[in-house]
A and B are shown apart, each in its own frame.
Chain A
Amino acid sequence: MSRVVEVADLRVELAGSGLDIVDEVSFGIDAAEIVAVVGESGSGKTTVGAALLGYARHGARIARGSVRVDGVDVLALGPEALRAARGKLVAYVPQDPATALNPAVTIGVQLVEALKAHDECAGQQERRERVRQTLAEVQLPDDDAFLKRLPHQLSGGQKQRVCIAMAVACRPRCIVFDEPTTGLDVTTQAHVLETVRTLCATHGIASVYITHDLAVVATLAHRVLVTYAGRIVEQGPCEAVFTRPRHPYTQRLVAATPHVHVRQVLEGIAGSAPAPRRRPQGCSFAPRCAFAEARCRELEPPLTLVAPGQEVRCVRAEELSITPRASLAVVGESASSPAAAPLVELDNVTAYYGGVAAARDVSFALHAGECLAVVGASGSGKTTIARTIVGLHVDRSGAIRLDGEELPRAAKDRPLAVRQALQFVFQNPYGSLNPRRSVGDIVAMPLRHFAGIRGREALPRVEEALERVSLSPAFAQLYPGQLSGGERQRVALARAMVCEPRILICDEITSALDVSVQASIVRLLERLRAESGLSMLFITHNLALVRALADRVVVMQDGRIVESGDASDVLLRASHSYTQRLLRDTPRLEPLTINQHEVKGAVR
């Protein structure tokens, strides 16, 4: 097969200080090949992707190396030639389609614009034809009515397809996909991934797919580059990398990924990827690595070939390949024994938005000490139900009972004990913490409100709460802007836990986080549950997470419950077609389950 993209010794650095953001990045992509770039936030994966378009974000510059696409050295192009190359030679699909499309211009005009910019088609007629053809390729309607729509009239998945259509319209040789499915639910994600796969195959497009989700990589990509602290630490064919990950970092990423088939202890990676100015000497991963030795801290290991096509940047790669994966532990199904009386009970709850029912006749019960997952695609009404229970959404009928007592609709009308017992953790840790208040203040807020404890008196309680979510007391002085996403979500959990709740309602609390951070949050939730006998309502669209955490599961579709039961039963023997579709659409790390015997032997 012909090489389309050839990246050699790429280095991108911060413009002022000359510190490297990424360095020593070399790889190639064949026609029709999909190469995945994976890593946590801050590992430099987006920087690598942008460099393929000859672009470095503000404050950074491409210092060294070459990027050849179809024989053209992208980095050597002048501004005009670069502008012509972007879109025509290398195209880009952004992470957030909502901000990538102009909200005031119709889809049709935006698509035609992309073609006009590159003189791709002669004449209006031909352009229209190409737009229709491209829309059909990404499985969108191609009629005039659709072309006249504005971005806000499309769903998230449709917007992302329009972005993909825009990228494909000019028939580029290479496309960079920057986490295009992060904000989408599994079903939409599965469709988008299928579209990407078909397009790359039919047009022979060499693709770079940036993501932090290994399961997506396993279902989509041919080869994978694992990046850490701006270096490729492991690369090779997906199959090889996921069945025999050699680098400790890759092993930890695999261990952090939840599986639908096996209930397993998820192991997060403590700490986070170091920013350019804080990278240690020697191997960047050494401070977080369980296998680090003295020599790891001295010299940065080179990328060495360990198997055909598989390269690893680790001095202990040979020995570690036979070391059983340290932390992959399969746990038995927890025997859920529903207590006699339910703790929270929903009785035919219907929630309305402006007269339209977002959830209909929802009835389920949450028992003491149990973790109940509510799953469904976006728009299934699962978040509405959570907000209704906690008293944020008041437009509803039906009854919600706590300990058999019917609850008033609005949180403010409920007795203090109820408000204390029911705690809610929001999806987006960037929105749920006040940026102008310190972490200590934020965690102390419920104490002040419920118990009138303020100032110095609250400090021990605040520190204890931070401790419970594995944050050091020093965090109390920081502001949310200084924290990473995972740290913020821990603060949000501390704010909930300081109330000594009996029920914790978690609304997709890991969906904005890296897989490795998600794993540590899940571990934390399990620990909190064990320590405090918490009952938990876990709202999610990620079935693999349900498997890792929940005892029972309720599946919702279009506002109705379509299936419910023990988590293992529902996930292994789904009876409803919708649940089966969700399961089918959930990307999975297949290779690992093939080697299950090996995994099972590796209980720590």
Chain B
Amino acid sequence: MSAVADAAGRSAPAPATRERTGLPRRVARNRRAQLGVALAGPVVLLALLGPLLAPHAPTVFVGRPFEGPSSSAPLGTDYLGQDVLSRLLWGGRSVLWMSLAATFLGVAVGVWAGLVAGYTRRSIDAAIMGVSDLVLGLPQIVLALLFVSMLGPKLWLIVVLVAAAHAPRVARLTRSVTLEVTRREFVEAAEVLGVGRWRIRIDEVLPNLVTPLAVETGIRLTWSIGMIAAISFLGFGIQPPNADWGLMINENRTGLSVQPWPVVGAVLCISVFAIGVNLIAEGISRTVAGDDGREAP
């Protein structure tokens, strides 16, 4: 890299080679991420704006059960005779907000635990990682169902349970990055100044966590969608007569051979959403992988 001296004899940075493109912009150039946005984007829009566009309310009976597509019900009717299209348009909101909330809650708790565990006394580290291993060792869905059947199908409870399933995994990742980063000399440079542990965690470690966490959050979100849809399908999530994609699959599976649209529509929405999110996560992770060596000396 070339630098020229300015009038005062100081070196000035040479501008041309010093461009630094941010991660979001580079991710946006990634093919997988683009495809992911193309898939997940419309589903998100559908879930958000659907209720405004729906021809009917989700709980109105527009015909007999399992009728085929007609002018009043473009995708036919479901097992109770409600409009399938309207229920699809109404049924995405819950999956969307619940999976987002569960993911971010899980990531937040995981990052907190990982930051503490990775840069603290050994005993506290051991305690945190012990709890996290315990949670990881239990079958997540069975545990979730156990709690829901005990406490009732409350949506916040599902969010908390899914988040609890994510937190240990995020904590492990955060801890390993923290362990690696806090061994570097810039952390010692802060310690010499007497900077406190939380300041070091936030100012020195967290910026180095951004990229691995971006990847991890994408993967966690894919998981959340699947798990929340599964819980709804099993009947522990949103309760009828409310519309929900996971629930719709369960309600209408008996009529699959007569009127496939409610099941097919809900499955399509969930899978396209999950696949899209997964592709975005994949795109981030590949962009980050291409970074290796950029930061290295």
Q: Which residues of A contact B (CB under 8 A)?
A: 42, 270-275, 277-278, 287, 390-392, 411-412, 414, 416, 419, 422-424, 426, 428, 430-437, 442, 445-446, 449-450, 467, 470-472, 474-475, 478-479, 481-485, 487, 492, 495, 499
Contacts and interface: CB of A to CB of B under 8 A. Distances in A.
Nearest to B16: A278
A434 B10 contact: no
A499 B193 CA distance: 9
When A and B form their complex, which 8 residue pairs have the shortest distance between CB atoms, in order from nearest? A436-B207, A430-B297, A274-B2, A431-B185, A432-B185, A472-B12, A434-B186, A278-B2
Contact of B194 (A412, A433, A478): A412
B3 A479 contact: no
A431 B3 contact: no
A435 B208 contact: yes
A603 to B, nearest CB: 20
B192 A391 contact: yes
B14 A278 contact: yes
A411 B194 contact: yes
A487 B11 contact: yes
B6 interface: yes
B2 A426 contact: no
B12 A275 contact: no
Interface string B185-218: 1101111111110010001100110100000000
B292 interface: no
A481 B210 contact: no
A407 to B, nearest CB: 12
B123 interface: no
A432 B12 contact: no
Nearest to B207: A436
A287 B4 contact: yes
Contacts of B184: 431-432, 434
B210 A271 contact: no
B122 interface: no
B13 A434 contact: no
A411 B192 CA distance: 6
Interface string B218-239: 0000000000000000000000
Given A271-B11, A411-B192, A470-B11, A428 B3 contact: no
Interface residues of B, number: 37
A450 B14 CA distance: 32
Contacts of A412: 191, 194, 196
B294 interface: yes
Given A414-B194, A430-B297, A449-B194, A472 B6 contact: yes
A273 B292 CA distance: 24
Interface in B168-189: 184-186, 188-189
22 contacts: A42-B1, A274-B2, A411-B191, A411-B193, A412-B194, A423-B192, A424-B189, A424-B192, A426-B185, A431-B186, A432-B186, A432-B189, A434-B186, A434-B208, A435-B295, A437-B203, A437-B204, A449-B195, A482-B17, A482-B20, A485-B297, A487-B11
Interface of B: 1-6, 9-14, 16-18, 20, 184-186, 188-196, 199, 203-204, 207-208, 210, 294-295, 297
B165 to A, nearest CB: 29
Nearest to B199: A449
Contact of A470 (B4, B10, B203): B10
Identify which of B6, B10, B16, B210 gathers the most chain A CB atoms within 10 Å of its CB.
B10
B17 A277 contact: yes
Contact of A390 (B4, B192, B294, B297): B192
Given A436-B210, A482-B13, 14 more contacts: A272-B3, A275-B17, A278-B1, A278-B2, A278-B14, A412-B191, A430-B297, A437-B207, A442-B186, A450-B193, A470-B9, A471-B10, A481-B20, A499-B193
Nearest to B183: A431
Given A474-B12, A481-B294, A482-B13, A487 B3 contact: yes
A449 B3 contact: no
B10 A445 contact: no
B185 A428 contact: yes
Nearest to A419: B194
Contact of B3 (A271, A436, A467): A271
A430 B186 CA distance: 9
A271 B5 contact: yes
Nearest to B19: A482
Contacts of B6: 472
Contacts of B4: 271, 287
B71 to A, nearest CB: 58
B62 to A, nearest CB: 56
A391 B2 CA distance: 38
A471 B8 CA distance: 10
Nearest to A499: B193
Contacts of A273: 2
B9 A270 contact: yes
A187 B156 CA distance: 68
A478 B194 CA distance: 26
A445 B185 contact: no
A449 B193 contact: yes
Contacts of B193: 411, 419, 445-446, 449-450, 499
